[in-house]
Chains A and B, each alone.
Chain A
Amino acid sequence: DSGVTQTPKHLITATGQRVTLRCSPRSGDLSVYWYQQSLDQGLQFLIQYYNGEERAKGNILERFSAQQFPDLHSELNLSSLELGDSALYFCASSAGPYSNQPQHFGDGTRLSIL
């Protein structure tokens, strides 16, 4: 058990819809990272928050947004969903702000767009 909690585990929705994925980091960790894992693109870094502030941005679409709340949990919002957004979305956390530190991953949310 990594200590990182992601909900829901599975999400099935239709094109054009909006969903919110939730992540609670490991106790004491201030950084939260979001990743998208799809069959053709592999594991892609989306965005990082550190102590409530956006710290680094990767290949995140404009239709996607995220935030980290004062209690350090994070939410990833995906809107105007397309078939290609079907993927496994991982959240990870680490203690400090730097990505060179070990990250602890949650079990992921499987998003299926019908």
Chain B
Amino acid sequence: AQTVTQSQPEMSVQEAETVTLSCTYDTSENNYYLFWYKQPPSRQMILVIRQEAYKQQNATENRFSVNFQKAAKSFSLKISDSQLGDTAMYFCAFFGNRDDKIIFGKGTRLHILP
């Protein structure tokens, strides 16, 4: 079965620092999609970034970027110049064509400290 693992249940960093959230996954598929979703205290789920496995270039969205290591099955999220509004739960998610459904990791709670 395909799994997504986020090994950091909780993290805290100072405002303006850079932070990296880890995510690893297990799959035998070659083509798949990876996502990072953010859930702030308002609890709404917001898509942060999306990566297609067949693309070697790491996805970037403003201050958010990923380090996608396909061979290592690693998909970490880097947040640069962190802001107080980045405080949220971050979920890594995997979509593979075989199961045709998204699988979420258990999340990392990120606190940005003033």
Chain A contacts to B: CB under 8 angstroms: 2, 42-45, 48, 56, 58, 88, 90, 92, 98-100, 102-108
Q: How many A-B residue pairs have CB under 8 A?
A: 48
Specify the chain B residue showing the minimal Cβ separation from A46: B101
> Are B45 and A105 touching (Cβ within 8 A)?
yes
Chain B contacts to A: CB under 8 angstroms: 32-33, 35, 42-47, 50, 52, 91, 95, 97, 100-107
Q: B27 to chain A: closest CB distance in Å? A: 13
Complex CA gap A72/B105 in Å reads 29
> Are B43 and A2 touching (Cβ within 8 A)?
no
Check A92/B101 contact, CB under 8 A, given A42-B107, A100-B33: no
Tell me which residues across on chain A come within 8 A of B33, comparing CB atoms: 100
> Are A108 and B43 touching (Cβ within 8 A)?
yes
Complex CA gap A44/B104 in Å reads 7
